[in-house]
Amino acid sequence: MTRTATTTILTTVILIAAGTLATAAECTDTTVAIGGDTCCFNNARYTGTCEVTTGPDETCSDVLAYLNNQASVGKTYCGNTKVRGGWSQVACEASRSPVTEPETTPES
């Protein structure tokens, strides 16, 4: 292989790697929320979706690790549930439907 071909291949590899790093930097990870953000979790043994507002210096990953640790105690996440293991983070619903009263028809 000639020196020019080696240089061209090396330059191409560097450009591809730089493009991959730039793309990865643009992605956002919801597990990196720190303090005051809302994280949502599901578990087949828990009814509904658990919403947790993170505390200072706490991330969604911290909460998820706590919920999946069989030996964890002391926090009151998810209504102080004792369910440990099997939790996964899910997207929180952007808006909730208001509860409305059923329509009634006037009696004749």
Question: What are 29-58's pLDDT values in tens digits?
Answer: 445 556 789 999 999 999 999 999 999 999
The DSSP bridge partners found for residue 52 are: 39
| For residues 22-33, average pLDDT | 45
Predicted local confidence at residue 98, as pLDDT: 45
Q: Report the pLDDT averaged over residues 71-94.
A: 94
Q: Are 63 and 52 in contact (CB under 8 A)?
A: yes
What Cα–Cα distance (Å) separates residue 22 from each residue in 9, 33, 64? Answer: 20, 21, 28
pLDDT at 6: 63
- Which among 15, 39, 17 has a CA at the least distance from the CA of 90? 39
For residues 71-75, average pLDDT: 95
H/E stretch holding 41 reads strand 38-42
- Predicted confidence at residue 24, as pLDDT, reads 42
Alpha helices in 1-108 (DSSP H): 3-26, 60-68, 77-80
Average pLDDT over residues 46-73: 96
How much is the average pLDDT of 1-10?
A: 66
**Residue 95 pLDDT exceeds 70:** no
Distance, in Å, from the CA atom of 104 to the CA atom of 108, rounded to the nearest integer, reads 12
Check whether 20 has a pLDDT greater than 90: no
Cα–Cα distance for residue pair 58/61, rounded to 1 Å? 8
Res 15: pLDDT: 55
